[in-house]
Amino acid sequence: MKKFVIIAFVAVAGLFSVNAMAQSKVAHINAQALVGAMPEAKKAETDLQTFAQGLEAEGKTMVDEYTKKMKEFDEKAASMTENMKEIKGREIQDAQKRIQDYRDQAEQKVQGKQQELLKPIYDKARKAIEDVAKEKGYGYVIDSSAGLLLVSPAADDLLPAVKAKLGIK
């Protein structure tokens, strides 16, 4: 008898959860396409490229210095004493390490700048998606930009509505 009550309870609970899910509307949107269409994203990309080019110019100076030291070492290696070769070799290794460290730091700076520039854009897009979903009565919105959405009816694509809300053509 106790098992029958538990089974009946689970069955009734399952029916209610299926009924609740049937009432929730689901939509999808390609968030990457939305962000890519936003004018702010294009400006952020330009700003990021300018920032990266500035860092690259600084790195080029270090590489030029390294190249000069290598060329100098190759030209004068035959006339150098072993002690001088060792000292110059350490200088070259130090220059290599500085270049690698600079590249690592520059990469981190670029990633940090990218996050700094894109965060307000993502926040604006997310708010617009949330607003449109609320206006249209959707309980769930799935991001289809990852390519994981296998089946989706065209009527439930929020991209055109969100673009309209943001004033994007």
In a domain, 77, yes or no: yes
- Report the number of distinct structural domains present in the chain: 1
Which pLDDT band, with edges at 50, 70 and 90, does 151 fall under? low
In a domain, 17, yes or no: no
In a domain, 18, yes or no: no
In a domain, 140, yes or no: yes
In a domain, 14, yes or no: no
In a domain, 147, yes or no: yes
Which pLDDT band, with edges at 50, 70 and 90, does 153 fall under? low
Full residue range of the structural domain in which residue 65 is found: 27-166
- pTM confidence score: 0.68
DSSP characters over the chain? -HHHHHHHHHHHHHHHHHHHHHHSEEEEE-HHHHHHHSHHHHHHHHHHHHHHHHHHHHHHHHHHHHHHHHHHHHHHGGGS-HHHHHHHHHHHHHHHHHHHHHHHHHHHHHHHHHHHHHHHHHHHHHHHHHHHHHHHTEEEEEEGGGS------GGGB-HHHHHHHHT--
Arithmetic mean of pLDDT, 5-24: 50
Which tokens belong to 47? 């700003």
Angle at 154 between CA 19 and CA 126, to 5 degrees: 80
In a domain, 131, yes or no: yes
In a domain, 1, yes or no: no
Which of 19-23, 39-43, 92-96, 130-134 shows the lowest mean pLDDT across its residues?
19-23
